[in-house]
A = this chain, B = another copy of it.
């Protein structure tokens, strides 16, 4: 256990997008495991929009991280020492590992994973929380029917690009909204969505009219604000608007205006429904099996944006709020094991 240990701690509150000043790197040793515990080293750490919420002291679905604490984060780790009957050295596990290179945990705090099923990185993306969020948000909350029009904002993001693909699999017309030509090219050419809107270069209302000539049945909302208002004006009867957990963090950056056109929900008997993965933890296995099957059949792909080294964490957080990532953003700390 002579490897250097690095932990990223929450150092001070962030007014807007967190930057280097909001984090502190420390190098305290990790205690050896006691009875029922395991020690692990991290391979991948997920970088998520939700992080802004976790460091904001406000009513939410999870308690905020306090100043001085190791930053909350989701990771994939390898067991390096075990005093748990359930884990052996070399096993892999996932869960809230924190933003650190190593850690010691109660074994029940993490979930064992089979590293032979798929690359470890996909456990942070398509076969992890972003994939499950896309799956349940679209299918369970949005309930799209074949032939319906599904609009997805933040469509090139960690969750959005999976939503687009599941909606296509279900026979929907998919309209993807993203910022910039490279993301739009990816969505159109690589994922084969039916229409793309570059919100940085197009007027949303008229672009939506063209891209969704039969109106909008499902909107997977990754951004809120003006875009949600524009969508509301073009919803069909019984439309469903899915408010995805991830975006709630933008509220902590810029207090968004409420959707002034929400009265359209009355005229069209529409519904706007929020969710977080907390509602679906017990149903993760069904999402995992479907997503893995679709991936193995080549029907879905998971786009990953991997950056090397825990020292890049502050920069990675900035990237996610600037929309600079292409797909699921994560830090890699140790190279993938040989297959």
Contacts and interface: CB of A to CB of B under 8 A. Distances in A.
Given A257-B257, A258-B257, A258-B258, A248 B263 contact: yes
Contact of A274 (B251, B260, B269): B269
Nearest to A241: B272
A59 B229 CA distance: 15
- Which bracket fits the contact residues of A? 35 or more
Interface in A209-253: 224, 229, 233, 243-245, 247-248, 251
A260 B263 contact: no
A280 to B, nearest CB: 10
A243 B265 contact: yes
Contact of A248 (B267, B272, B276): B267
B271 A276 contact: no
A244 B266 contact: yes
Contacts of A259: 258-259, 262
Instruction: Please tell me how many copies of the chain the complex holds.
Output: 2
A48 to B, nearest CB: 14
A243 B273 CA distance: 13
Contact of A262 (B59, B245, B258, B266): B258
21 contacts: A59-B233, A59-B267, A61-B267, A61-B268, A224-B262, A243-B263, A244-B266, A247-B266, A257-B258, A257-B260, A259-B262, A265-B273, A267-B274, A269-B273, A269-B274, A269-B276, A270-B274, A271-B272, A271-B273, A271-B274, A272-B273
